[in-house]
């Protein structure tokens, strides 16, 4: 049995003193060597050395495990995402460069205590769903090395499945964060476009790309998302997700869409339909109400991805490189990407018009359902099969995934079982933009009913760490952390009390924030910015208010402030006031006061 690297398990060991980050690094190194001796699955493009990993571990030496949500948690990074000082290749050696700064998402994870362990193999330039289009070798499935891992985030999925990392980062443009999850018994979260900034990520189709999360459980994915999300002031596509855009699913009332049977395709996989029907039964047992959905408009959207100008967007992403060095590309990657030059500006507009027409047709579906359920991948394939028919089989794998990004939807792949050959299978739940946490919570419940182990580790899933049972919380109330003029007795506190707000308790944030007095407005504009290891604990209050009032409260919050996840000194998380990092430029740093009240009371 491989090590249990789930976040709750490691956190429990760190808090008890049973484990240190340096000891964890030694464990990871030992596990990697053991995996090497078994079979080369071509997981890594660049594996960090023991000394490099230890440098991250030793940076945590004087930190309290309670103060950082990802203290000592090992993670892997798809090699189209920058890690400072380590080459980024996108699986093309001639393209490689060594960044001086990490991608925003990577730096946030490191600041929260996570330890990077390596850069993972991928379909070159994130073009493919198979995991074999790489000069570093075809990445092999965690359960059977003859089968594909899925792609393009191939090594990211396999590293987590084999217990070499607690979670990993991938990217997803057409299913690259979901197909490998489905084929390796993992949770694969494709968040809403812009929820996680893509600064420092090599684009495939920049308008569609997201950073995806592979995890052992939905709870682990939720923990990572809370650290990773939020604008960074650099990515023009990044956006703050308002909390009130998400709603709880009530057992016996949530409605899930099921494609008409004539719209389902399993491409010769005779086990696909029974497996999917079993997942439907699980959702029925959770209190869901099935609604038949005509999938044809969604499938029509999917055809646009590789037949329209989004291929030209792929070409544009690496235009100067491909024109200078076409021979450097994998033959299949070149054949797909080079088609992008064929599309004209009129073609682009025509495709966008068609997309809008199809989007209008799909919009009505969301009036009747909360989530749409589909298989994740229609059929597993061997590496030999894919190499013999690389285009069609790749297309088959995208049957249920290609439309999601084009329609600005959120999605999560959930393991639901195994086929007779022991290759995992699963389903994907899809929802509207901004509904990522709704999907995570439902995925956790479905996962609990469906499988008994996570990845290929042999360990049972920790399924209850981050999702409180609805019977123990009020679904009619929302908690919010305030740190400025909304504090009790201060100028804007009436905005809470007028909405039947009630003070629950006074708290301190985790020691990972800086507070600024923002310029250009009245003196009640503090900004709380997450910075990681250079931060401090800030005094706050937790208030609760009726959920029906929360929307109007959030609507009154002006830029650069917003509502996001705030980490607390006791290790908990709550939604609260946060500030865009760019607003700190020119603002007065008042962190040393420890809170807004102290700042107001200090001599000026």
pLDDT of residue 298: 97
Over range 4-27, report the average pLDDT: 96
**Angle between helical axes of 345-363 and 296-307 (0-180°, round to 10):** 160
What CATH fold (topology level) applies to the domain 474-599? Hypothetical upf0131 protein ytfp (3.10.490)
**Alpha-carbon span 138 to 123, nearest angstrom:** 9
pLDDT digits (tens, 9 = 90+) for 311-353: 999 999 999 999 999 999 999 999 999 999 999 999 999 999 9
State pLDDT tens for residues 97-154.
999 999 999 999 998 899 999 999 999 999 999 999 999 999 999 999 999 999 999 9
DSSP secondary structure letter of residue 459: P
Reported as a single tens digit per residue, the pLDDT across 504-538 is 788 999 999 999 999 876 666 899 999 977 899 99
Q: What pLDDT score was predicted for residue 468?
A: 38
pLDDT per residue over 435-463, tens digit each?
998 999 999 999 999 988 999 999 988 86
Between 20 and 62, residue with greater pLDDT: 20
**How sure is the predictor about 64, in pLDDT bands with cuts at 50, 70 and 90?**
confident
Specify the pTM.
0.83
Positions annotated as catalytic residues are: 78, 152, 176
Could you read off the pLDDT of 375-430 as tens digits, one per residue? Answer: 999 999 999 999 999 999 999 999 999 999 999 999 999 999 999 999 999 999 99
Contacts of 566 (CB under 8 A, 6+ apart): 481, 509, 528, 540, 573, 574, 575, 576, 577, 578
pLDDT above 90 coverage of the chain, percent: 75
Q: Evaluate whether 539 touches 514 at the Cβ level (below 8 Å).
A: no
Query: For 158-211, what is each residue's pLDDT tens digit?
Result: 999 999 999 999 999 999 999 999 999 999 999 999 999 999 999 999 999 999
What are the boundaries of each domain within the chain?
Answer: 474-599
Strand order of the sheet with strand 561-567? Answer: 502-508, 539-546, 477-482, 573-579, 561-567
SS (H, E, C) 18-69: CCCHHHHHHHHHHHHHHHHHHCCCCCEEEECCHHHHHHHHHCCCCCCHHHCC
- pLDDT-derived band at 500 (thresholds 50, 70, 90) equals confident
């Amino acid at each position: 049995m491989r090590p249990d690297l789930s976040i709750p398990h490691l956190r429990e060991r760190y808090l008890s003193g049973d484990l240190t980050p340096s000891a964890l690094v030694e464990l990871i190194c030992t596990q990697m060597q053991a995996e090497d001796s078994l079979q080369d699955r071509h997981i890594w493009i660049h594996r960090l050395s023991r000394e490099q990993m230890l440098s991250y571990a030793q940076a945590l030496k004087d930190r309290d495990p309670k103060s950082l949500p990802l203290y000592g948690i090992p993670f892997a990074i798809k090699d189209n995402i920058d890690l400072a000082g380590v080459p980024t290749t996108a699986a093309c050696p001639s393209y490689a460069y060594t960044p001086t700064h990490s991608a925003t998402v990577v730096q946030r994870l490191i600041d929260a205590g996570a330890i990077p362990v390596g850069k993972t193999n991928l379909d070159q330039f994130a073009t493919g769903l198979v995991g074999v289009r790489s000069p570093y070798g075809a990445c092999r499935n965690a359960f059977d090395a003859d089968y594909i891992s899925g792609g393009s985030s191939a090594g990211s999925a396999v590293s987590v499945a084999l217990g070499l990392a607690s979670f990993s980062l991938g990217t997803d443009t057409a299913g690259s964060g979901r197909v490998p999850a489905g084929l390796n018994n993992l949770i694969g979260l494709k968040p809403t476009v812009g929820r996680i900034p893509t600064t420092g990520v090599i684009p495939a189709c920049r308008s569609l790309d997201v950073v995806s999360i592979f995890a052992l459980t939905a709870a682990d994915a939720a923990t990572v998302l809370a650290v990773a999300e939020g604008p960074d002031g650099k990515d023009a596509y990044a956006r703050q997700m308002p909390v009130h855009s998400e709603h709880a699913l009530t057992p016996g009332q949530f409605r899930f869409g099921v494609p008409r049977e004539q719209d389902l395709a399993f491409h010769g996989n005779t086990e696909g339909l029974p497996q999917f029907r079993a997942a439907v039964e699980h959702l029925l047992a959770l209190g869901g109400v099935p609604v038949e959905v005509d999938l044809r408009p969604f499938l029509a959207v999917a055809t646009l991805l590789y037949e329209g100008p989004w291929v030209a967007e792929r070409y544009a992403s690496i235009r100067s490189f491909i024109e200078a060095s076409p021979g450097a590309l994998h033959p299949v990657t070149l054949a797909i990407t080079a088609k992008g030059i064929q599309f004209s500006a009129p073609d682009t507009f025509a495709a966008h018009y068609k997309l809008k027409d199809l989007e209008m047709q799909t919009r009505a579906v969301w009036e009747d359902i909360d989530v749409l359920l589909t298989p994740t991948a229609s059929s597993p394939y061997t590496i030999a099969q894919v190499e013999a028919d690389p285009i069609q089989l790749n297309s088959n794998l995208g049957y249920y995934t290609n439309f999601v990004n084009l329609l600005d939807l959120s999605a999560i792949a959930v393991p639901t079982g195994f086929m007779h050959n022991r290759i995992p299978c699963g389903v994907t739940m899809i929802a509207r933009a901004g509904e990522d946490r709704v999907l995570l919570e439902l995925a956790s419940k479905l996962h609990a009913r469906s499988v008994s182990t996570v990845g290929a580790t042999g360990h049972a899933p920790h399924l209850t760490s981050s999702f409180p049972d609805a019977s123990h919380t009020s679904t009619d109330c929302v908690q919010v952390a305030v740190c400025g003029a909304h504090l009790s007795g201060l100028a804007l506190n009436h905005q809470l009390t007028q909405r039947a707000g009630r003070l629950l308790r006074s708290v301190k944030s985790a020691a990972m924030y800086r507070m600024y007095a923002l310029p250009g407005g009245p003196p009640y504009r503090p900004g709380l910015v997450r910075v990681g290891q250079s931060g401090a604990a800030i005094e706050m209050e937790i208030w609760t208010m009726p959920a029906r009032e929360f929307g109007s409260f959030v609507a009154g919050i002006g830029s650069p402030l917003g509502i996001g996840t705030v980490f607390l000194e006791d290790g908990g998380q709550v939604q609260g006031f946060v500030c865009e990092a760019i607003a700190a430029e020119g603002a007065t740093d008042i962190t040393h006061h420890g809170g807004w009240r102290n700042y107001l009371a200090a001599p000026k």
